[in-house]
Amino acid sequence: MDNRELANANPVVLNPSDLPTRKRLSASQHGEGKSSSIFSFPTTTLSSDPLYHSDVSEASDSDVESDAEDIDEQEIYDLIATMSDPEHPITLGALAVVSLPDISIKPTMPHRPESPLRTVTVLVTPTIQHCSLATVIGLGVRVRLEESLPARFRVDVRIKEGTHSTAEEVNKQLADKERVAAALWNPTLQSFIKKMLETCE
Amino acid sequence: MASNSNPLDNTPSLRPHTTLHSPTPNTRAWSSRAHPSSAAPLLATAASDKSVHVWDMRDWRLLSTISGGHKRSVRCVGWKDYGRRTKRTRTDTDAGTVGAQEEGQREGQQDPVILATGSFDANCGLWVWNTNNSASEPSQQQVQTVPGSFDEDTDTAEQDFTHTHTPNEADENEEWHFSTLLTGPDSEIKDLQFSPPHYGANLLATCSRDKSVWVWEEVEAEEWETVAVLGEHTGDVKCLGWCGGARTTRAGLRRRLRRRWGEGDADADVDAGGGDEEEKEEEIVLGGRELLASGSYDDTIRLHHDDEAEGDWITIAVMTGHEGTVWDLRFEGHVNLASYPDGTSEEEVIADWEPRLVSCSDDLTVRVWRKELSEKERGEKRMRIAEAKRGQERAGAANGEAAPLQTGFASSRLPSVIRPPTSTEKWVEEASLPGVHVRTIYALDWSAKTGLIVTCGGDGLIAVYRESAASASSAAEDVVMNGTAEHNEQDQDAGDIKKLKTEWRVVAAMEAAHDEYEINHVCWAPVRDQRRQLDAGEVVDSSDRDDEEYIVSTGDEGDVKVWRLPREVLGQIRQDL
């Protein structure tokens, strides 16, 4: 892999100050640079999320599960945007590989309102259509979220529609729990993921 | 079936029996399997901590941990099944009839207890239980580490995870003796299964991410050879299943049929737990043949067998229909009488019955498949059934001429000249079970004892399904099946059984069975508890235990949970057993 040519030598890099953060809420509304069209995706807007002010929700809710409700799309974004691209020392957030509007959290069992299970869906936008590392990036994102989130979260990582030539194939692999688990025993993939996580925290 | 309302509303819940906590908590466990024989009341759990945990099913203690052999997650386990020791008791042996003697239960003690383990390290290990030092003295648990790990030269570039453990000296008292290492597949072993006890050869099938299915044969004790490598799948092979057929007895079938039609005093011998007469009667195996099914990441199911004409293993059927990875499958091992009309005799059932296959998938469906007979096979079957009907009218139908009617296993041992010529088989989807899962369905099992199907998945749900005669409204559209896809009026001659419509219902469920964790595996397991008192206030007598099975589920948190069916479901199935 060392002699491999970079799949994308000149990726578009966003200005860090344009990335959505918890501190500047407004940034999440217009900070996505080139991909403004993705706002058609009905993401949860932070300001309208009643649980966004986590301190308040905890106080008002005696349910033990309320802790978990603190986790919102922004938090998911913060977990993965700081990961770096395996071939650039640039974060996935800055490369717009992951973006806030492409993250959603939904009840896993809509017919069971009392169920604490939540499904996190992250759509990954590879830097170029043929990016050979799309699977590795997706794997890294899935692993990062599975390791960071409580067990009641189900993590679905997919390639954003129309952004990759073999998206279907990649999606199937990323959805396969057994393959993901097996991949983590592979030293090459392990080192890739370790590298991606170096820039976190 | 009403799919617009949630089918789980008002569905009775499973009753928790016990939870087996992993010795390494929060480490994913992949699957568990119970030993089929009462002589070895053992449950093995494959875990991602590279080890196998073996539990004593009499008191649910952790008996031993087998570690140090595999270098990566252990994905699957399987027990060699010797069945009831079979012995030919008559010289004019019926085709398809295997004499089952009571010695089986006693001699079962002498059969070695053999465990196969399949791992992400691409290897399969065979282990023999040292019965001299085992459950007979339920002392303290043993943690066993095999001296040195399997030789691993296939991925030398990879980090050796096992060098962290301290190799022990070989212990004479070790509970598990490492017997054989099967190597060959290029990547993770995903499933394995020993062949059923009545097959002509001792076979083991394994499947792997390298898209292959390997069939191994034990040519001499503890000496295994590769007999086939099947590579037709275009994706990981996730699951395997041998066609073992249904083990039953004529008397058992007769009693169940009588009971079904409300004839005679069937209750009397049912309450006696089947009766001694039935115990002594020869066991017959219906529909068992050397046939291996595999399900894959390529969304298909394939059936393979050892073709004598070809002199090799070939694929004889491909089932397409699933729109996602096929995660698990199982052949039917219980003769469900729900579809047989009033007055059907046991000989007609024996002539007619063939096992179906059930599969589950990432597409959130559970599908039942059946073989569609060719014109020739339909003709042959009609002849067998017609002859069974005539034989029924004669006294003494049970011997002599009834014999050739068997569809039992031994028919496949007939010399090749009189075996039907090989042709591909067509399998069609017969039914889709009620859709209750909302995440990938990872595993299922089809009880050979009760005919119930159980499934589990990433949504933490365990669901139990039962097939019964369709409700009065839909039963009006009776349909001739006989293994054919469509009903044809002109086919209803003497050789046809006018099958009744059946439907599958969810009869029990457990949501959040492993709390918020995903459930990787579920299976039926026999009841081996020593204590008669299974739960508070309920004393269970031996006949109850005999016809009850547990559900064993294995979860991402590493725990194995043991469940009992709701009482009302036990009541329902007892009526049919």
End-to-end CA distance of chain A: 27
- pLDDT reported for residue B473: 58
Nearest to A19 by CA among A121, A89, A97: A97
Choose between B409 and B525: higher pLDDT: B525
Is B355 a residue whose pLDDT tops 90? Answer: yes
User: What total number of domains does chain A contain?
Assistant: 1
Length of chain A equals 201
For residue range B120-143, list pLDDT tens digits in order.
999 999 999 987 654 444 444 555
Among the residue ranges A53-57, A85-89, B82-86, B209-213, the one predicted with the least confidence is A53-57
Nearest residue of chain A to residue B557 (CA atoms): A151
Nearest to B236 by CA among B320, B297, B294: B297
B435 neighbourhood in chain A, CB within 8 Å = none
- pLDDT reported for residue B55: 97
Q: Which of residues 165-184 of A touch B (CB under 8 A)?
A: 172, 175-179, 181-182
Choose between B169 and A89: higher pLDDT: A89
The residues pairing with B178 across neighbouring beta strands, listed in sequence order, are: B127
Is B18 a residue whose pLDDT tops 90? Answer: yes
Mark yes or no for CB contact B73/A181 under 8 Å: yes
Cβ distance B119 to B25 under 8 Å?
no
- pLDDT reported for residue B401: 42
Kindly report the CA angle at B563 between B40 and B48, in degrees rounded to 5?
70
In a domain, A1, yes or no: no
Report the distance separating Cα B94 and Cα B101, nearest Å. Answer: 16
Type of residue at A57 = S
Choose between B357 and B283: higher pLDDT: B357
B439 neighbourhood in chain A, CB within 8 Å = 108, 154
Report the distance separating Cα B562 and Cα B462, nearest Å. Answer: 12
**Is B556 part of the contact surface with chain A (CB cutoff 8 Å)?**
yes
DSSP B476: T
The residues pairing with B409 across neighbouring beta strands, listed in sequence order, are: none
| Mean pLDDT, chain B, integer | 80
Cβ distance A137 to A125 under 8 Å?
no
B518 neighbourhood in chain A, CB within 8 Å = 154, 177
- pLDDT reported for residue B374: 87
Count of CB atoms situated within 10 Å of the CB of B63: 26
Report the distance separating Cα B518 and Cα B440, nearest Å. Answer: 10
Mark yes or no for CB contact B556/A115 under 8 Å: no
Mutation target to probe the B interface, by most B beta carbons within 10 A, among A69, A178, A190, A191 is A178
Report the distance separating Cα B235 and Cα B233, nearest Å. Answer: 6
Q: Which of residues 135-164 of B touch A (CB under 8 A)?
A: 157-159
Count of CB atoms situated within 10 Å of the CB of A9: 9
Report the distance separating Cα B258 and Cα B264, nearest Å. Answer: 7
Nearest residue of chain B to residue A116 (CA atoms): B516
Percent pLDDT > 70 in chain B is: 71
In a domain, A61, yes or no: yes
Q: Which of residues 264-303 of B touch A (CB under 8 A)?
A: 297
Nearest to B577 by CA among B248, B349, B101: B248
In a domain, A6, yes or no: no
Query: Across residues B85-91, what is the average pLDDT?
Result: 37
Type of residue at B87 = K
Percent pLDDT > 90 in chain A is: 52
Confidence band, pLDDT 50/70/90 cuts, at residue A191: very high
Instruction: Name the residue with tokens 């070939």.
Output: B314
Domain boundaries, position A81: 16-197
For residue range B201-213, list pLDDT tens digits in order.
999 999 999 999 9
Q: Which two tokens stand for residue B284?
A: 């017959």
Mark yes or no for CB contact A181/B72 under 8 Å: no
In a domain, A159, yes or no: yes
Report the distance separating Cα A150 and Cα A67, nearest Å. Answer: 11
**Is A186 part of the contact surface with chain B (CB cutoff 8 Å)?**
yes
Mutation target to probe the A interface, by most A beta carbons within 10 A, among B11, B71, B364, B438 is B438
CA atoms within 13 A on the CB side of B532: 6
Nearest to A185 among B120, B297, B515 (CB): B120
Choose between B135 and A31: higher pLDDT: B135
Cβ distance B398 to B406 under 8 Å?
no
In a domain, A2, yes or no: no
Pairing verdict, β B312-319 and B114-119:
unpaired
Nearest to A181 among B48, B438, B460 (CB): B48
Q: What is the 3-state secondary structure (H, E, C) of B531-559?
A: CCEEECCEECCHHHHHCCEEEEEEECCCC
- pLDDT reported for residue B278: 55
φ, ψ of residue B225 to 5 degrees: the values are -125, 150
Confidence band, pLDDT 50/70/90 cuts, at residue B399: very low
Strand boundaries in B478-518, DSSP class E: 502-510, 513-516
DSSP string, B340-402: SPTT--HHHHHHH----EEEEETTS-EEEEEEEPPHHHHHHHHHHHHHHHHHHHSTTTTSGGG
Nearest to B69 by CA among B135, B128, B131, B130: B128
Handedness of CA B555, B557, B563, B566 (dihedral sign): negative
In a domain, A3, yes or no: no
φ, ψ of residue A188 to 5 degrees: the values are -65, -45
Residues 6 or more apart in contact with residue B396 via CB below 8 angstroms: none
**Is B306 part of the contact surface with chain A (CB cutoff 8 Å)?**
no
Using a CB cutoff of 8 Å and minimum separation of 24, what contacts does A160-163 make? Answer: A160/A38, A160/A102, A160/A123, A160/A124, A160/A125, A161/A123, A163/A125, A163/A126, A163/A129
Report the distance separating Cα B180 and Cα B34, nearest Å. Answer: 21
DSSP string, B264-320: TTHHHHHHTTT-HHHHHSPEEEES--S-EEEEETTS-EEEEEEETTTTEEEEEEEE-
Mark yes or no for CB contact A117/B460 under 8 Å: yes
Type of residue at B142 = Q
In a domain, A8, yes or no: no
Nearest to B34 by CA among B112, B113, B145, B125: B113
Type of residue at B501 = K
A181 neighbourhood in chain B, CB within 8 Å = 28, 48, 73, 120
The full set of domains in chain B, from first to last, is 15-482+496-574 (2.130.10.10)
The H or E element containing residue A147 is helix A134-148
Nearest residue of chain A to residue B48 (CA atoms): A181
Report the distance separating Cα B77 and Cα B84, nearest Å. Answer: 21
Report the distance separating Cα B454 and Cα B504, nearest Å. Answer: 12
SS3 at position A142:
helix
In a domain, A92, yes or no: yes
Report the distance separating Cα A137 and Cα A124, nearest Å. Answer: 8
A176 neighbourhood in chain B, CB within 8 Å = 236, 297, 325, 362
Nearest residue of chain A to residue B210 (CA atoms): A179
Choose between A121 and B537: higher pLDDT: A121
Q: How far is B119 from chain A (nearest CA, A)?
A: 10
Nearest residue of chain B to residue A111 (CA atoms): B6
DSSP B13: B
B238 neighbourhood in chain A, CB within 8 Å = 178
Among the residue ranges A64-78, B19-33, B110-124, B193-207, the one predicted with the least confidence is A64-78
End-to-end CA distance of chain B: 25
Query: Across residues B159-176, what is the average pLDDT?
Result: 48
Q: How far is B159 from chain A (nearest CA, A)?
A: 7
A182 neighbourhood in chain B, CB within 8 Å = 72-73, 120, 187-188, 209
Kindly report the CA angle at B264 between B260 and B265, in degrees rounded to 5?
100
Choose between B324 and B541: higher pLDDT: B324
Report the distance separating Cα B545 and Cα B437, nearest Å. Answer: 30
Mutation target to probe the B interface, by most B beta carbons within 10 A, among A111, A115, A117 is A117
Type of residue at B154 = T
Confidence band, pLDDT 50/70/90 cuts, at residue B415: very low
Query: Across residues B478-492, what is the average pLDDT?
Result: 43
Confidence band, pLDDT 50/70/90 cuts, at residue B515: very high
Q: How far is A61 from chain B (nearest CA, A)?
A: 20
Query: Across residues B521-527, what is the average pLDDT?
Result: 97
Q: How far is A44 from chain B (nearest CA, A)?
A: 23
**Is A33 part of the contact surface with chain B (CB cutoff 8 Å)?**
no
Choose between A173 and A42: higher pLDDT: A173
Nearest to B62 by CA among B70, B51, B76: B51
Report the distance separating Cα A54 and Cα B548, nearest Å. Answer: 49
**How many residue pairs bridge chain A and chain B with CB atoms within 8 Å of each other?**
61
Cβ distance B197 to B81 under 8 Å?
yes
DSSP B457: E
For residue range A82-130, list pLDDT tens digits in order.
999 988 889 999 999 999 999 999 999 998 899 999 999 999 999 888 7
Nearest to A116 among B157, B439, B516 (CB): B516
SS3 at position B443:
strand
- Residue A38 sits in a domain whose CATH number is 3.30.300.130
For residues B26-58, one letter each, b for 16 or more C-beta atoms within 10 angstroms of the residue's C-beta and e for the rest, the string is: ebbbbbbbbbbbebbbbbbbbbbbbbbbbbbbb
ipTM for the predicted complex comes to: 0.81
Burial class (CB in 10 A: 0-12, 13-18, 19+), B292: buried
Cα B124 to Cα A80, B33, B202, B399, B554: the distances in Å are 37, 16, 16, 45, 21
DSSP string, B406-435: --SGGGGGS-GGGSPPP---EEEEEEE---
Query: Across residues B75-96, what is the average pLDDT?
Result: 62
- pLDDT reported for residue B102: 38
Cα B365 to Cα B265, B325, B329, B437, B457: the distances in Å are 41, 11, 12, 8, 11
Cβ distance B9 to B504 under 8 Å?
no
Pairing verdict, β B237-242 and B292-296:
antiparallel
Nearest to B516 among A112, A151, A181 (CB): A151
